[in-house]
Every structure is written in structure tokens, then in C-alpha cells.
């Protein structure tokens, strides 16, 4: 390895170590840290992120990158140089004091959001969100003043994504989804979900989580489950990935699909190639790609008739009384109920993307300055009425339901919808060579995992999202796979 590349590897290891520390702090904050501990944590994160900033936004970095390129590089080394240059360009454009202040702000803002949500009072959170929008608009101009601020952030979360593409993508989804929802709500098929609201002892739900993790072939020596208000996944490194879930005594399905969803994220991180460890190429290629893996497991596997057939004996073993008069078919239909509702994370597969569209439209307007933060709750309620036809009773069940904006993430939501659509295309491609239905019926997920590892997981950030999708599906992204899947599945469930 040439000298410059050697120095760049050392830099990457330091960046890895700082990120590791910040992820531990973040994981702790969201799981067992006491409620009033945010201020000290904010101070610590400000220092850590300042150290990270000093390392990367350093004039020696572009010089080293230039020097490295004069020597012959392996494919991976060339990718490291490319990724480091991207991080350098992004970071060095933001003044150090603003970067640190923003990190501190988001830590405080998450705390304020928690209080606002508990009190269902948007005014507690509004001053923080105003500052966040202001920072995000200013940072976007530092990156690329020629682009609309929201385009800059869409591209940050999903390389190459723009409002133009999102507008076209969502328009295509809307054309299929809105009429489908209408047909479903008018259909005579009634799905019984009452049994899901029985009492499901949490101790038994924990046993079910373990069973699901085993079925997904997640190595528990490298991946543990904790509990948090909202389920999430954090990777410290490929040998230590954490997922969280939330147990509700009167809703067993919530934990089942949280574990499978986060399990999908975890599998992606656990199966990065070893050679990428401690480099800037480790980690999912994009938010959209990450969501494609979690939603592939949650929906295309977890909510399939075949997978439910496989877990049915286990469910009956753990919950014989709760499921005494229920069939696997009843359960399949209940966990696939389609019904316009208030909360995104509880939304069904059909209406889910409508929830994303609500957020997309509002983020677009916040970022282009045509919507003031103080007017956000009213705009939210109007969008929910227009797209989903539901009335929002209060801010806790409306504009305050998600943590993303409090964490400073504007432009993240579209990646959920994109990921869902990527997954449909991947599954369609997988079906050409694997008998997916038989594998699910037998609970034999190894060949599916192997398919994903070979085409997606192992590469980390070595390839762009578009390259990975091309690599896996042998064609560019096409949302029709997703809309076709929805129409076929739900026409059968609702006898349309
Ligand atoms: Zn996710």
C-alpha cells in the first residue's frame, strides 16, 4: 500500500472510532438513559463531533487524496478515495462552530420533541424545528448554492435523488394506490383483527422475538435486542449490531414486525465484507437501500402467507388461548388489513406510501420557504385529509408522531418509499432463480440471505445505490414492480 493510502487508512480508523463512540452514546440515549440526561450528553456529543470535524475537514486530507491517486489503486482503495473526498467536500464546507452547534441543537431538539409529543403541544417543539430548518437551508447553500436546498438533502440521503424524480415516483404511486384504497374501503370483505388486541404476555413475546431472530438467521453472538420507544437499528461495527423493539401487551403484531424490520437492517450490517471493516465504505449504501432490506423482510417475507404458515405452529405453542379460534389465514389477513389511519409506523403496506407523501410535500414547502413552521400542524392535518381522508385529533397523533425532524433529518422520508419499491423489484428478480414461496413455507431463509449478501450486503458503500440495484436486478429502478405487487396481493385479500 502506498504511503498516502496508509495515512488515509489511519484516518478512516480514527473516524470509525469516533463514530463508534457516538453510536454508543446515541444507542444509550434511546434505550436506558434517564430522561433528564440530555444536557451532558449534548456537551459530550458536541466535543466528539468537533473532533470528527477536525479530522476530516483538514487541509491535509485533499492533499493525501491527490497523492493516493498518483499510485495504482485497487478497486476498493479507489472507492475509499472517492468516498473520503465526498465526506471531505461535505464537511469542509460547513464552518466548524456551526457544525458543532447543529449537533448540539439536534440533541436538545429530540428532548424537546419528546416533551412536546407527551403533552401533544407543538409549540414546545416549534422553536427548535425553526432553527433546524434554518440550519438545513443554510448548510444546503454551503454544499451547492445552485441547487434548491431540498434537492441537496434528497441527494444526501439517496445519491442522485431529486424533487423531479420524487415527484414522478410519487405521482406513479398515487395513480395506483389511491384507487386501490378506494376499492378496498368499498369492498364487502371484512377482516377481523379483534383477536390481535388480546392480552399477549410480554415474556412470551420475548420468546417469539428470539424465534424470529433465529428464523432470519441472525447470529445472536453479534446482534442483541434492546427496548426503546421507537424501534431502530444501530451498528457499532459488523461484529456488534443492536436492534430495538417495543413490547405492547395488547398488540403482538407490533413487536413481530418491528423485530423482522430491524432484523433486515441488522442482516445488511452483519454481512458487510470483512475487507471493508474500519473503512468509510462500511455501512449501508444509502438510506433507501437500507430500508429496502428492512422492508423486504418485514413485508415481502414477514407478511407473506407462506412465512405465516411457517411461524404458525410456534405462535400456537406460545399463545394457545389467544389463538384458539384463529386460523393462519385469519392471521395473514389481520396483519395485512388495509385501512387509512393516523400513524405512519402502524400503517399497512398499501397506505404507507401515502403517509410518506404527506411528509414529502411538507418538507418540500418548509425547505423552499413557502410554509412557516408555525403553520405546519394545520398543513399536516390538511394533507392527511387530502391523501388519506382521515381527521387528525391532536398533534401527538399528527405532526409530532415522528422523531426524524427533531433529529435534523429533512429529506429522509422519501427513502422509506423508495426502499419499499426497490425491495419489490429485488424480490421479483429473486423469484427467477429461487422458489421463494417454498423457502418461506419451510422457514429456510438461508438461500434468500445468500442472494442478498452476494448482490447487496457485502458491498457496503463500495457501489452507488443505482449500481447495486442494477447489480441485483439486472435493470434500472422501476416502481411498477411495487405497484403490481400491491394490486395483485390486495386484490386477492379483498376479493376485488
Ligand atoms: Zn427501517
User: CA–CA separation, 455 vs 471, rounded Å?
Assistant: 6
Q: Angle at Cα 166 formed by Cα 382 and Cα 264, nearest 5°? A: 95
Contacts of 205 (CB under 8 A, 6+ apart): 247, 252, 255
What pLDDT, on the 0 to 100 scale, is given for residue 229?
85
Give the pLDDT of residue 400: 98
Q: Separation of 288 CA from ligand 1 center, angstroms?
A: 9
* Phi, psi for 235 (deg, rounded to 5): -110, 125
Nearest Cα to Cα of residue 406 among 158, 204, 132? 132
Rounded to the nearest angstrom, the distance between the alpha carbon of 64 and the centre of ligand 1 is 36
CA of 293 to the centre of ligand 1 (A): 8
Topology of 163-493 in CATH?
Answer: 1.10.1370
In the structure, ligand 1 is a single-atom ion and the residues with CB under 5 Å from it are 294
Has 98 been annotated as catalytic?
Answer: no
What is the reported pLDDT for 419? Answer: 96
Task: State the angle between helix axes of 414-430 and 480-493 in degrees (0 to 180), rounded to the nearest 10.
Answer: 80
Q: Would residue 331 be called left, alpha or beta, if left means φ above 0 and alpha means ψ between -120 and 50 degrees?
A: alpha
Cβ-based neighbour number of residue 410 at 10 Å: 27
* pLDDT score recorded for residue 184: 97
Selecting among 262, 291, 363, 462, the annotated active-site residue is 262
367 and 137 Cβ atoms separated by less than 8 Å: yes
CA 294 – ligand 1 centroid, Å = 6
Ligand 1 centre distance from Cα of residue 320 (Å): 31
pLDDT tens string, the chain, 496 residues long: the values are: 789 999 999 999 999 999 999 999 999 999 999 988 988 998 898 899 889 999 999 999 999 999 999 989 999 999 999 999 999 998 899 998 898 899 889 989 998 999 999 999 999 999 999 999 999 999 999 999 999 999 999 999 998 899 999 999 999 999 999 999 999 999 999 999 999 999 999 999 999 999 999 999 999 999 999 999 889 999 999 999 999 999 999 999 999 999 999 999 999 999 999 999 999 999 999 999 999 999 999 999 999 999 999 999 999 999 999 999 999 999 999 999 999 999 998 899 999 999 999 999 999 999 999 999 999 999 999 999 999 999 999 999 999 999 999 999 999 999 999 999 999 999 999 999 999 999 999 999 999 999 999 999 999 999 999 999 999 999 999 999 999 999 999 999 999 9
Helix (H, G, I), strand (E, B) or coil at 241: strand
* Coil, strand or helix at 391: coil
Strand 240-245, strand 223-227: pairing: parallel
pLDDT at 421: 97
CA–CA distance, 219 with 453 (Å, rounded to integer): 15
Domain ranges of the chain: 3-147, 163-493
Report the separation in Å between the CA atom of 291 and the middle of ligand 1, taken as the mean of its atom positions: 5
The separation between CA 304 and the C-alpha centre of its own chain, rounded to angstroms, equals 21
CA 261–ligand 1 middle distance (angstroms): 6
440 CA to centre of ligand 1 in angstroms: 21
Measure 416 CA to ligand 1 centroid, in angstroms.
Answer: 7
DSSP-based three-state secondary structure for 490: helix
Amino acid at each position: 500500500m502506498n504511503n498516502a493510502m496508509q495515512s488515509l487508512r489511519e484516518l478512516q480508523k480514527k473516524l470509525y472510532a469516533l463514530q463508534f463512540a457516538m453510536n454508543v452514546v446515541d444507542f444509550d440515549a434511546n434505550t436506558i438513559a434517564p430522561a433528564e440526561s440530555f444536557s451532558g450528553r449534548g456537551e459530550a456529543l458536541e466535543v466528539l463531533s468537533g473532533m470528527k470535524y477536525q479530522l476530516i475537514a483538514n487541509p491535509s486530507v485533499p492533499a493525501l487524496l491527490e497523492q493516493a491517486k498518483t499510485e495504482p489503486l485497487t478497486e476498493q482503495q479507489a472507492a475509499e478515495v472517492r468516498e473520503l473526498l465526498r465526506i471531505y467536500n461535505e464537511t469542509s464546507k460547513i464552518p466548524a462552530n456551526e457544525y458543532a452547534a447543529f449537533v448540539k441543537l439536534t440533541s436538545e431538539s429530540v428532548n424537546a420533541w419528546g416533551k412536546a409529543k407527551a403533552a401533544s403541544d407543538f409549540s414546545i417543539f416549534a422553536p427548535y424545528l425553526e432553527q433546524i430548518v434554518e440550519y438545513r437551508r443554510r448548510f444546503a447553500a454551503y454544499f451547492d448554492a445552485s441547487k434548491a436546498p431540498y434537492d441537496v438533502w434528497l441527494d444526501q440521503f439517496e445519491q442522485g435523488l431529486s424533487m423531479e424524480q420524487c415527484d414522478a415516483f410519487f405521482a406513479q404511486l398515487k395513480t395506483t394506490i389511491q384507487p386501490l384504497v378506494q376499492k378496498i374501503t368499498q369492498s364487502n370483505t371484512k377482516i377481523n383483527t379483534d383477536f390481535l388486541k388480546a392480552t399477549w404476555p410480554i415474556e412470551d413475546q420475548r420468546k417469539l422475538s428470539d424465534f424470529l431472530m433465529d428464523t432470519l438467521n441472525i447470529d445472536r453472538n453479534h446482534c442483541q435486542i434492546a427496548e426503546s420507544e421507537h424501534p431502530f437499528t444501530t451498528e457499532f461495527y459488523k461484529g456488534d449490531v443492536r436492534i430495538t423493539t417495543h413490547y405492547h401487551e395488547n398488540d403482538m403484531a407490533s413487536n413481530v414486525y418491528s423485530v423482522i424490520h430491524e432484523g433486515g437492517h441488522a442482516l445488511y450490517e452483519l454481512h458487510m465484507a470483512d475487507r471493508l471493516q474500519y473503512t468509510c465504505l462500511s455501512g449501508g449504501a444509502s438510506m433507501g437501500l437500507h430500508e429496502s432490506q428492512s422492508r423486504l423482510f418485514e413485508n415481502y417475507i414477514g407478511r407473506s402467507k407462506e412465512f405465516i404458515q411457517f411461524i404458525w405452529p410456534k405462535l400456537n405453542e406460545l399463545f394457545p388461548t389467544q389463538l384458539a379460534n384463529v386460523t393462519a389465514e385469519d392471521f395473514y389477513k389481520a396483519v395485512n388489513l388495509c385501512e387509512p389511519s393516523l400513524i405512519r409506523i402502524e400503517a399497512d403496506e398499501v397506505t404507507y406510501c401515502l403517509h410518506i407523501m404527506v411528509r414529502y410535500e411538507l418538507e418540500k414547502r418548509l425547505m423552499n420557504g413557502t410554509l412557516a413552521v408555525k403553520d405546519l400542524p394545520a398543513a399536516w392535518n390538511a394533507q392527511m385529509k387530502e391523501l388519506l381522508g382521515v381527521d387528525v385529533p391532536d398533534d401527538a397523533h399528527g405532526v409530532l408522531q415522528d422523531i426524524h425532524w427533531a433529529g435534523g433529518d429533512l429529506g429522509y422520508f422519501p427513502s422509506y418509499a423508495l426502499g419499499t419499491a426497490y425491495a419489490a423489484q429485488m424480490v421479483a428478480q429473486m423469484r427467477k432463480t429461487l422458489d421463494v414461496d417454498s423457502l418461506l413455507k419451510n422457514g429456510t431463509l438461508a438461500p434468500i440471505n445468500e442472494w442478498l449478501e452476494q448482490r447487496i450486503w457485502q458491498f457496503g458503500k463500495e457501489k452507488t445505490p443505482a449500481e447495486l440495484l442494477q447489480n441485483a436486478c439486472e435493470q434500472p429502478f422501476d416502481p411498477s414492480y411495487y405497484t403490481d405487487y400491491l394490486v395483485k396481493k390486495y386484490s386477492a385479500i379483498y376479493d376485488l
